[in-house]
Amino acid sequence: MFIALHNTYSAKQVEEFARIVFGFGVDTIVITKATGSAAQSGVPVAHKLACRLGKNVLFFEDLDDAIEVLRPEKVILIGNKETCDKEVDFNSIGKNDLVVFCGASTGFTKLELEKGEGVYLTENEVGAIGGVAIFLYKMKELQLL
């Protein structure tokens, strides 16, 4: 399973996202459409952390590039309840799926949601950092990770 952070401008968000994902034992994180300080200092910090831990960071210009290169079986976009109709089904997530969290407070655009299956994780918006922590904790609890 690939865990991705899409559309972020915050270096701190990239760093915290990487710490959480690696902390749960996931070997590779994917970062797409990072701009500003996220691209200039967040990605290098995440890469340094990955090198120390023997993990990997894949950095792509946009979500389409990640999908093209990784060729996931499914693309699962973890959004908010306002834009996504159904709740995430943890048991349906496979080892070759790309699970994407949006770093922007506005969430995924309609065009981005068309690239995969848009699902929600919680009733209220908790952001990418909260979302990935809850998601990975639940995956570990169900022994799916």
Model pLDDT for residues 117-141, shown as the tens digit of each residue: 999 999 888 999 999 999 999 999 9
Does 145 have pLDDT greater than 90? no
Alpha helix ranges (H) inside the chain = 11-23, 37, 43-53, 63-70, 110-113, 127-141
Contacts 24+ apart (CB under 8 A), 19-24: 19/49, 20/129, 20/132, 20/133, 20/136, 21/132, 21/136, 22/49, 22/50, 22/53, 22/55, 24/136, 24/137, 24/139, 24/140, 24/145
- Specify the pLDDT at position 74: 97
> pLDDT digits over 3-46, tens only?
999 999 999 999 999 999 999 999 999 999 999 999 999 999 99
> Among 3.40.50.300, 1.20.120.340, 3.40.50.2300, 3.40.1280.10, what is the CATH number of 2-142?
3.40.1280.10
Which 3 state secondary structure label does DSSP give 88?
coil
pLDDT tens string 52-107: 999 999 999 999 999 999 999 999 999 988 889 899 999 999 999 999 999 998 88
DSSP tally for the chain: helices H, then strands E: 6, 7
Report pLDDT for 82. Answer: 87
State which amino acid sits at residue 82: E
pTM: 0.95
Q: Would you state the pLDDT for residue 111?
A: 93
